[in-house]
Structure 1
Amino acid sequence: MKLADIRTFVVGNPPPHFGGRYFVFVRLTTACGISGIGEAYGVPFSPHLVAQLCEDVFARYAQGADPHDIEALWRRVYSSGFTQKPDLTMMGVLSALEMACWDIIGKAAGQPVYKLLGGRVHDRLRAYTYIYPRPGDRADVYHDPDLAAERAQVYLDMGFTALKFDPAGPYSAFDGRQLSLEALDLCERFARTLREAVGNRADLLFGTHGQMTAAGAIRLARRLEPYDPLWLEEPVPPDAPEEMARVARATTIPIATGERLATRYDFARLLDCGAAAILQMNLGRVGGLLEAKKIAAMAEVRHVQIAPHLYCGPVVGAANVQLATASPNFLILESIEDWSGFHAQILKNPIRFEDGHVIPPTEPGLGVELNDEVALAHPHTGDMLHLEMTQHPVR
């Protein structure tokens, strides 16, 4: 079996844009006609350039190769251009290609990918969602704790037992910083109001995006501790795991992080520092499925759990499902609400959601197929990146 062809799709994600402004998908096809899909996440360049990068790397290292030879492909791409160092751009590209190879491998074997990664451990995967806005909202649900508490009840009725929210304010290219007293007060009000609303029916996941210094994060954590969040997410920027470890040692709230890290080498530093109790690798950036499985095994040795990150498209979501199903130390899966809307439309066979859980597929490969007609009908035409940081200091 040899890889013969690549096709890329840069898909605009229609309003309300949950999961990002666009998705970058790849489809690899073998000479014998088996196709597999993958997705690149968060590469900090135009998505059309990312598609070209995928095509370039495929031509250099994957075309003509056996898709089963994941380790060899991984090392060649990881070392491309005399690098051998975690590079978020190259790892996003490699993740998409590697993911597509696993889809092909599973289809060739007639098995879901999780059966080839150690087999099924979990029959159902507990899921969480952000508390998202809805059309006609009277206020901004991201900044109004009372509206967030009302929306939380909607999600509880859908079966969710964990909800994420992030009232700490904008994240900036100049972070970390100390949050203002006003921001600290709002964060505390959110945690208190939501805990009163959900009681013990749901875990609260407090999201931040590296806005704080370690000292600032510790100040926030002390305000949040009475409301017993399941985690405090990425409290400091991802470039200093030693600083995140300071936060972890100073609070009873578990620290979760990892969406902006790539490869086992980044995660090894995190684990060596004792910086996190929960790892949130994104399979469209971390280096692919096998790399994520290795990281999960490293974490398992240290009694650290995994909660695969998803703020992107449903192909990464499908890969997350495969990893989670085969991982003993899986904790919870990020969902975009109940996987309806565009995340369902872009697939021929949507991800299965039941009563707050994702149900692992039994179909071979990743268990999903891209709907080309829908993908081509929604080309991305904007010039903004998937996510944008505030470009000035936040006071």
Structure 2
Amino acid sequence: MEISTNDNSLRVAALRPVLLSAVYPPGEELSWVGGVIRSWDAALVEVVLDDGTTGLGEAGAGIMAPAAVPGIVESLRPYLLGHHFGDPREIGDHLRDRTAFWSRGGIASGTLGAVETACLDAVAKRRGVPAHEVLGGRRGTHIEAYASGGLGSSFAQVTAWALDQVAAGLRTVKFRAMRDPDTTIALIRHVVPRLPPGIRFVLDAVQGCASEPWTIEDAIRVGKVCAEYGARWFEEPCRAENPAGYAAVRAALDVAVSGVESHGSVEDFRVLLEAGGVDIAQPDVTFVGGPVAFGRVADLAAKLGAACVPHVWGSGVTLMANLHISAAHSHVDLFEYCTLPNPLREALLDCELRLEDGRLAIPDTPGLGVRLTPEIEQRFPYVPGGGHVIGAPEGT
């Protein structure tokens, strides 16, 4: 059957989870105050349409819990295989409506969104157009990017990383807090004066998933130092499930507050935004439930007077999925660009990622601009026990 080049309809013939690990050589692990990252893991979902076209998506929480994804994919099969859809953007709601008993948020929502993303990738590739075209078209040729990383366990490491990003042409750098508020304040006072004039900074307090989060008083104390030094924003000063805490921190500060990257549903963001918890919402396509859910969060943020800046922290699939939806949405003007060494970012890209004067060029490669080959699967076999294990003892 001949398919129109403007036809977004699809039927999924097969899907499978794909777990990958890029294991760092001894001595090249990523060290930070949260522990040691010995491998960068990814939990991908591959779909095959009935015409043989393939597409990829990623469950973002797979950087920490990849082994959870295959079982969720298996549980989604009855609701996907054999069904006809008029557009890949129907997939997420179709699955949410049929799995509401168990998929409301968390890694289940991320996996569901990975299926929607994979279907978007496949349909766009079949049509020979970039994914953003299926989402309504890009609003411009470039989007401002900020450097994200700053995992060093010493002030010198964080400073060196930040200066490297400036040398690469990025105008805003985001680094992570140290374990306690006082050391974090000292870190700000050390790093920021060493940045060249005109360079902005962001502090990620990393309290959204902290096992022992700071008190509200301590978060405010750190936030005031961020404001003193002119931070672009202060990120995740409270645990993700504490919207009242976010509201209290935001009300006390003269610096923008952002969150929550790990939220797994539009409703999570609704509660946070309606509580007055953030100036900047930070959804991630691979956590929040796919491109449609991401767009709803951005729409909600616009309605309630908040900005929307995506969280982007994963393989090349996560990067490109977030880049395409950001390019297509009218309320997204800034993009997180993780610059930490991650072989799964570059290996999975099927297009050139161009950073020009601190701005990422929006790709026009068909689909997301990613690809998975047998060679990639052989090169990066999944190795259990690694990934982002927060607080693991040094010997593990």
Smaller-chain TM-score bracket: 0.7 to 0.9
Relative distance call for 1:284 and 1:326 in structure 2 (3 A) is same
Deviation at 1:48, TM superposition (A): 3.4
Match of 2:249 among 247, 250, 259: 247
Deviation at 1:323, TM superposition (A): 1.3
1:11 paired to 2:20: yes
1:185 paired to 2:182: yes
Aligned residue runs from structure 1 range 201-220, under 5 A:
201-210=198-207, 211-220=213-222
Deviation at 1:280, TM superposition (A): 1.3
Aligned to 1:149: 159
1:168 paired to 2:214: no
In structure 2, the residue corresponding to 1:42 is in which secondary structure?
helix
Deviation at 1:45, TM superposition (A): 7.8
Give the partner amino acid of 2:71: Q
Relative distance call for 1:111 and 1:234 in structure 2 (3 A) is same
Give the partner amino acid of 1:119: G
- 10-19 vs 266-275, greater mean Cα deviation: 10-19
1:78 paired to 2:103: no
| 1:237-262 deviation digits (Å, cap 9, x = unpaired) | 01121221111111011111121102
Aligned residue runs from structure 1 range 264-275, under 5 A:
264-275=266-277
In structure 1, the residue corresponding to 2:189 is in which secondary structure?
helix
Deviation at 1:284, TM superposition (A): 0.9
Aligned to 1:138: none
Q: Contact 2:202–2:233 (CA<8 Å) still a contact in 1?
A: yes
Q: How many aligned positions are there?
A: 369
Deviation at 1:338, TM superposition (A): 8.0
Q: Which has the higher strand share?
A: 2
- In 2, Cα distance between equivalents of 1:204 and 1:25: 32
Q: Contact 2:19–2:381 (CA<8 Å) still a contact in 1?
A: yes
Aligned to 2:261: 259
Relative distance call for 1:342 and 1:4 in structure 2 (3 A) is closer
| 1:44-79 deviation digits (Å, cap 9, x = unpaired) | 98523412321331x111112235444653234224
Deviation at 1:337, TM superposition (A): 1.3
Give the partner amino acid of 2:388: L
RMSD of equivalent CA atoms: 2.6
Relative distance call for 1:70 and 1:337 in structure 2 (3 A) is same
Deviation at 1:374, TM superposition (A): 1.7
Relative distance call for 1:194 and 1:82 in structure 2 (3 A) is closer
Deviation at 1:341, TM superposition (A): 4.3
Give the partner amino acid of 2:200: D
Deviation at 1:196, TM superposition (A): 1.4
- In 2, Cα distance between equivalents of 1:129 and 1:228: 17
Give the partner amino acid of 1:222: K
Match of 1:24 among 15, 26, 43: 43
Relative distance call for 1:371 and 1:350 in structure 2 (3 A) is farther
Match of 2:295 among 283, 293, 296: 293
Relative distance call for 1:147 and 1:37 in structure 2 (3 A) is closer
Deviation at 1:227, TM superposition (A): 0.4
In structure 1, the residue corresponding to 2:14 is in which secondary structure?
strand
TM-score, normalised with respect to structure 1: 0.85
Give the partner amino acid of 2:101: T
Aligned to 2:4: none
Deviation at 1:230, TM superposition (A): 0.9
Deviation at 1:27, TM superposition (A): 1.3
1:197 paired to 2:205: no
Relative distance call for 1:27 and 1:155 in structure 2 (3 A) is same
Q: Contact 1:203–1:229 (CA<8 Å) still a contact in 2?
A: yes
- 150-159 vs 59-68, greater mean Cα deviation: 59-68
In structure 2, the residue corresponding to 1:242 is in which secondary structure?
helix
Q: Contact 1:9–1:376 (CA<8 Å) still a contact in 2?
A: no
Aligned to 1:34: 53
| 1:139-181 deviation digits (Å, cap 9, x = unpaired) | xx3321x443233222111111111111331xxxxxxxxxxxx
- 322-331 vs 286-295, greater mean Cα deviation: 322-331
| 1:223-280 deviation digits (Å, cap 9, x = unpaired) | 2221011111111001121221111111011111121102211111111111111111
- In 2, Cα distance between equivalents of 1:221 and 1:119: 38
Relative distance call for 1:167 and 1:271 in structure 2 (3 A) is closer
TM-score, normalised with respect to structure 2: 0.85
Aligned to 2:312: 310
Deviation at 1:116, TM superposition (A): 2.7
- In 1, Cα distance between equivalents of 2:378 and 2:352: 18
